[in-house]
Every structure is written in structure tokens, then in C-alpha cells.
Amino acid sequence: MDLVIRDARVIDGTGAPEYRADVGVQDGRITTIHREEEAGPRPSGPRTLDAQGLALSPGFIDMHAHSDLALLRDPDHSAKAAQGVTLEVLGQDGLSYAPVDDRTLAEVRRAITGWNGDGSDIDFDWRTVGEYLDRLDRSHGGRGIAVNAAYLIPQGTVRMYAVGWDDRDATPAELDHMKRLVAEGMQQGAVGMSSGLTYTPGMYAKDAELTELCRVVASYDGYYCPHHRSYGAGALDAYREMVELTREADCALHLAHATMNFGVNKGRAPELIALLDDALDDGADITLDTYPYTPGSTTLVAMLPSWASEGGPDAIMRRLQDDETAAKIRHHMEVIGADGCHGVPIEWDTIEISGVSDPGLASCVGKTVQQAADMRGEEPWVTARRLLINDRLGSTILQHVGHEENVRAMMRHRVHTGGSDGILQGFKPHPRAYGTFPHYLGHYARELGVLSLEETVAHLTSRPAARLRLPDRGLVREGYRADLVLFDPDTVAAGSTFEAPRTLPVGIPHVLIDGKFVMEDGRRTDVLAGRAVRRTP
């Protein structure tokens, strides 16, 4: 064998109790698991790693990642590799960079600058889903990428491509075009389709349109991953809508960052759990992901009402620059409750500026909009409007609207998986980008006991692998790929905080992808073992 991991505390991903074993790896796969109590010779090889009481688990799968350009930009990518993440699912929230034509690419680059940067440092030499996946494989001089990546077809981008930015029903010809784009993306290796139904233009799609697209996804055995229409005032109805829509389409459903936010939903996670349990008991195919923090993260422009975003970024800028229209936008946000803010009147003291595209605006970062306004002696909307215009819609925010009891309730659920929703851009990103997986293991499993360590690992490994229909990942089992993490259960913890969000975790000394060390003795190696993981036919 190429490598023998000696005396490991194996937490195999099934949720079963840990056991001690030697684990042998050869040619990128687990070839031998020799339990402590077994007779016979122990495995040997040219290299032996003494686990010294470390836990050995499958690599963690980030079911909700925004590394679409970061993997191309940064060969190191320690934000995820150091957490033990060995696979990320990209193309989230209905907005990403394939499939596109030249017009759509320019528009989507601008629309999600706050998530991924403007891409000026990227050679966008792809247009289709397959070409994007190929580009991942040949990145960094053909060496590949830091961690593996799967891809969801972004429904908002597909609508942008076929329909544009108008708030209207698609014509039959446009719907056929969207269905072809989704089918082609699935044929080229996507694992499913995402939506961002509080983001334009994807939010303009009605249920009938989404159902037709989900039927296409289902025909390829993929899944639908919606950021649904409300996490606030209409949250339960929005969840119910997604359950009913996918059951009508006979499509598997994976609910993105599933929780109940804002004051109207404090303590209401049990209602959501009851809704999901009823559907599961009736045969629905549902999973979900969450991150283990209370604040959310998105862009400031996402808070606007959808009518203000119709037509795309240039139209938004014109509306913000017009005093009369800007006053209407303000009324919707502060009094009525804009759909971009989930139907809840915005509370400016919960909106913290986490990143700006223009370095000249860096003094705003780390302050709430209310704090920044108080410093200038002006009303918060005036500050927010100025920031949107001057930063050309590129500002990111932390939205402090979550509830700890809801977070804990959702992570206990039987179909729960982990997802960071990590935005890596900005001067002060959400710490979940660098800390989600060790935070689950250290804070919620070891310190709080919300889940056992074995059950926590199952949530982060085998459950997401099953949703992705990956037949040889997510378990420590002979024949499976050697995507493995060695961590210290007694010390593992997120280093990232809201004050220092880019601090790497502790207690995760070794991470392997296909049997190659991408983290060794707590340091990032120069290995690029990641590849595009395509849908299994």
C-alpha cells in the first residue's frame, strides 16, 4: 500500500460508534481496514502515518459553496482545504457563470461581483457547463484545483440567458430554450439545478415554469436546490411551495441554508420540521443544508424590492440615482417590507457591511448601516443609497437576523447536511467561509453536545454524498476514494471569528484527496488533487 494510517479512531460516516483500526490506501482508494481486534498481520507500506489518537473520517462535503471563481483564482484555497472540505457544490442560489453567452456572462459577472469579485483576473474561456467543468480540471497549468467540485445549473442565469431581466412569464419558445439549457447542463455533468428566488431575474419565474425545469432535472436523476422565496414573513409558505412543486415534478429537493430567520420566526423551527417530516413520511425525497451561525450573508443590492431590480444592474443604478424612484424604494424597504428582504421591513442596525468592491469605501466595513449613518449624521437609507451607487452594487453584508434555537433544531434533523454558504470576497467576510466544519465538530458536537461526534460526521459526509449520488465517497470503507480527514476531537475548532474571519481552524492536521496530502502536519501542501465531480449517469 502507498500509505498506512496506523491506530486511527475511525469515525466512518455511518453514524455508528467509532472504532480503532489501521487504514491502508493505494492508488487513491481505501484498500484495507484492519480493526484493532482483528487477527492477522497489520497492513504495511512504504509510508506509515501514526494517527496518535486522531479521528479519521471521510472528507467533508460543503453542500453550499460560492467558490465558483475562487477555485480558478487561488490554487491554495486553504479556506476550505484547511477545514477538511474535500468537495464543494458550486453554482448556488441560481446565479453562476455557465451556461452563458457573451451578453449573459457580462451581466452575471456584474450581478454577483459581491459574491466572487468582478472576475477581471479570470479568463472566461468557457460558455457551457461542460466547458466550465473542463476548465476546473485544467486549471493552474493543468494541475487541477485544490478540492473537488460539483456544479448546479443556476436557474437565474438560465432565465437571464433565455428571457432577460424582465418580470414576466416566459414565452413557450423561451421555456423550451431554458429546458434545453438545463438538459444540456445535466448531460454535461451537473448534479442538479439551483434557484435564488429572492434574487433577480430568477425570482420572476412562477411555479409552473420552475416545475417544468425540475421535470428536466428529475429525468437525469438530479436534484433541485432552491434558495426559496422567503426566509422571513412568508417562510413556511415558501418552504411548502418548494415541497409541493418538486413533488409535482417528481424531483428530489435539497433546501439551501434551511432555517427560519427574522423576529417573526423566532422559535418556529419546529413548525418547519413538522412540515418536512410530514412530506418525508409521505415519501418525498428531501434533504437540506445549514451553516452553524445565526447571521446570514449576501449583497446589499439583494435587499431591494424586485421591481427595482428589473432590467439588471444598469437599470438598478438609474433607479437609485433618480430621487423620486429612490424614495419609493426606501418606502418599500423601510415600511412595506421588500421581497428582497423577505417581506420584513428592514432594520438597518442588523445590516453590517462586510465587503466593498471599491477600496476607497473600506471605512464602512465592519459597521452596520445604522452606525455608518450615525457617524455621518444622516438617515440610514441615505448611507445605504450612497454605498450602493458609489460601490456600483458590489457591497456585501452580514445580516444579523437568525436565532440560535432555530439553528440547533435544524442541525438535528434526520436529513440535515452541512453547507458553509461561504462568500470569500470582501474585507470582512462571514466566518462561516473559513470555519463551518470545525465549528460543527468543536462547538456544537464537543462543547454543546447538540449531536454526537459520530452523528455530526455523518451529517457532513455520507448524507451529502448520498444526495449527490456518489457511489464511492462519504464513507471510510474499502473500495471508496481516499478523501479523508484526520482531526483531533479534543481540540478541533474554528479559528475564524467575526473580528478575524480569515483565521484558519485548529485541530485538523491532515487532509487527503484521492490519497494525496493536501494538508499535512497542519500546513497546506502544493498538491492540487481536486477535480470536477460530474453527475453519475
Per DSSP, the residues of 138-197 read THHHHT-BSSEEEEEEEHHHHHHHHT-S-SSPPPHHHHHHHHHHHHHHHHTT--EEEEET
pLDDT in tens, 334-370: 999 999 999 999 999 999 999 998 888 889 999 999 9
Sign for the CA dihedral angle at 409, 415, 421, 422 comes to positive
Does position 107 have pLDDT exceeding 90, yes or no?
A: yes
Residue listed under C-alpha cell 476514494: 481
DSSP run (H or E) holding 9: strand 3-10
pLDDT in tens, 214-260: 999 999 999 999 999 999 999 999 999 999 999 999 999 999 999 99
Does position 117 have pLDDT exceeding 80, yes or no?
A: yes
Q: Please report, rounded to a whole number, the percentage of residues in the chain having pLDDT higher than 70.
A: 100
Q: Are 65 and 422 in contact (CB under 8 A)?
A: yes
DSSP run (H or E) holding 49: strand 48-50
Does position 537 have pLDDT exceeding 80, yes or no?
A: no
Does position 151 have pLDDT exceeding 90, yes or no?
A: yes
pLDDT in tens, 448-487: 999 999 999 999 999 999 999 999 999 999 999 999 999 9
Q: Are 195 and 254 in contact (CB under 8 A)?
A: no
Find how far residue 319's CA is from the centre of its chain: 31
List of residues 6+ apart from 454 with CB closer than 8 A: 11, 15, 16, 17, 18
Q: Are 388 and 411 in contact (CB under 8 A)?
A: no
Cell of 199: 434574487
Look at residue 473 in the predicted model and tell me its pLDDT.
Answer: 98
pLDDT in tens, 37-46: 999 899 999 9
Residue listed under C-alpha cell 438530479: 222
Q: Spell out where 368-463 has E strands.
A: 396-399, 416-418
Look at residue 157 in the predicted model and tell me its pLDDT.
Answer: 98
Find how far residue 310's CA is from the centre of its chain: 25
Look at residue 396 in the predicted model and tell me its pLDDT.
Answer: 93
Q: What dotted CATH number matches 60-294+402-524?
A: 3.20.20.140
Look at residue 134 in the predicted model and tell me its pLDDT.
Answer: 98
Find how far residue 285's CA is from the centre of its chain: 20
Does position 536 have pLDDT exceeding 90, yes or no?
A: no
The conformation of residue 117, written as its DSSP 8-state character, comes to: -
**What is the 3-class SS of 293-337, one letter each residue?**
CCCEEEEHHHHCCHHHHCCCHHHHHHHHHCHHHHHHHHHHHHHHC
Confidence tier at 1 by pLDDT (50, 70, 90): confident
List of residues 6+ apart from 306 with CB closer than 8 A: 167, 200, 203, 204, 338, 339, 340
Please count the other Cβ atoms lying within 10 Å of the Cβ belonging to residue 177: 17
DSSP run (H or E) holding 101: none
Look at residue 166 in the predicted model and tell me its pLDDT.
Answer: 95
Look at residue 177 in the predicted model and tell me its pLDDT.
Answer: 98
Look at residue 400 in the predicted model and tell me its pLDDT.
Answer: 95
Look at residue 427 in the predicted model and tell me its pLDDT.
Answer: 85
The conformation of residue 533, written as its DSSP 8-state character, comes to: -
pLDDT in tens, 256-290: 999 999 999 999 999 999 999 999 999 999 999 99
Parts of the chain belonging to CATH 3.20.20.140:
60-294+402-524
pLDDT in tens, 43-87: 999 999 999 889 999 999 999 999 999 999 999 999 999 999 999
Q: How far apart are CA 259 and CA 248, in angstroms?
A: 23
Question: Distances from the Cα of 257 to the Cαs of 191, 276, 287, 393, 518, in angstroms?
Answer: 18, 14, 11, 23, 28
Does position 178 have pLDDT exceeding 90, yes or no?
A: yes
pLDDT in tens, 400-411: 999 999 999 999
Strand partners, 487: 55
- Per DSSP, the residues of 224-292 read EEEE-S-SSTTHHHHHHHHHHHHHHHT-EEEETT----SGGGTT-HHHHHHHHHHHHHTT--EEEEE-S
